[in-house]
C-alpha cells in the first residue's frame, strides 16, 4: 500500500519511505527497500512510500528534512535511515531490531 493509512495489526511495523519522486537517490532507495523486503514473509509490516512533493507537511511532522529517508516504527521503537539504502547491513539491522515477527503466527 502506498501513501495510505490502513488497519495494521498492533505487532506490525510501519515502514515509511519518504522520497522525492523522480530523483535517482529516491528511485534507488525504493529499489533497495523492495529488495530487502522481497521474499521475507517473516516480516509483518505496512509500507508507505510518501512523495514529499505531494505531502511536504507530513514529512516535516515526521522530522524528515532530506530524501530519501526511511522511518521504521514498531510500538515505541523508532529507527531512521537517511540515504538510498545501499548500506544493506544497516537496513537489515533496522529490520531485525524491529523484530517484526513471522506472519505464520497471525491469529
Q: 35-52 burial, b if ≥16 CB within 10 A, otherwise e?
A: ebeeeeeebbbbbbbbbb
Whether residue 44 is contained in a domain is answered as: yes
Whether residue 12 is contained in a domain is answered as: no
Whether residue 70 is contained in a domain is answered as: yes
Q: With a threshold of 0.85, does the pTM exceed it?
A: no
Number of domains the chain is built from = 1
Segments forming the whole domain that contains residue 31: 20-101
Higher pLDDT, 96 or 32: 32
Contact 70, 29 (CB under 8 A): yes
**CATH number, residue 70:** 3.40.30
5 has a pLDDT exceeding 60: no
Whether residue 33 is contained in a domain is answered as: yes
User: Model confidence over 33-81: pLDDT tens digits?
Assistant: 999 888 666 667 889 999 999 999 999 999 999 999 999 998 888 999 9
Average pLDDT over the chain, rounded to an integer: 83
Q: 64-102 burial, b if ≥16 CB within 10 A, otherwise e?
A: beebbbbbbbbeeeebebebbbeeeeebeebbeebebbe
Amino acid at each position: 500500500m502506498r501513501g495510505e493509512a490502513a488497519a495494521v495489526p498492533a505487532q506490525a511495523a510501519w515502514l515509511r519511505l519518504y522520497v522525492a519522486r523522480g530523483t535517482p537517490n529516491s528511485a534507488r532507495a525504493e529499489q533497495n527497500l523492495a529488495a530487502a523486503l522481497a521474499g521475507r514473509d517473516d516480516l509483518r509490516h505496512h509500507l508507505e512510500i510518501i512523495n514529499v512533493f505531494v505531502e511536504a507537511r507530513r514529512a516535516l511532522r515526521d522530522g524528515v528534512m532530506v530524501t530519501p529517508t526511511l522511518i521504521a516504527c514498531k510500538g515505541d521503537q523508532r529507527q531512521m535511515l537517511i540515504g538510498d539504502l545501499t548500506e544493506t547491513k544497516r537496513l537489515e539491522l533496522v529490520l531485525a531490531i524491529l523484530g517484526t515477527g513471522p506472519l505464520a503466527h497471525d491469529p
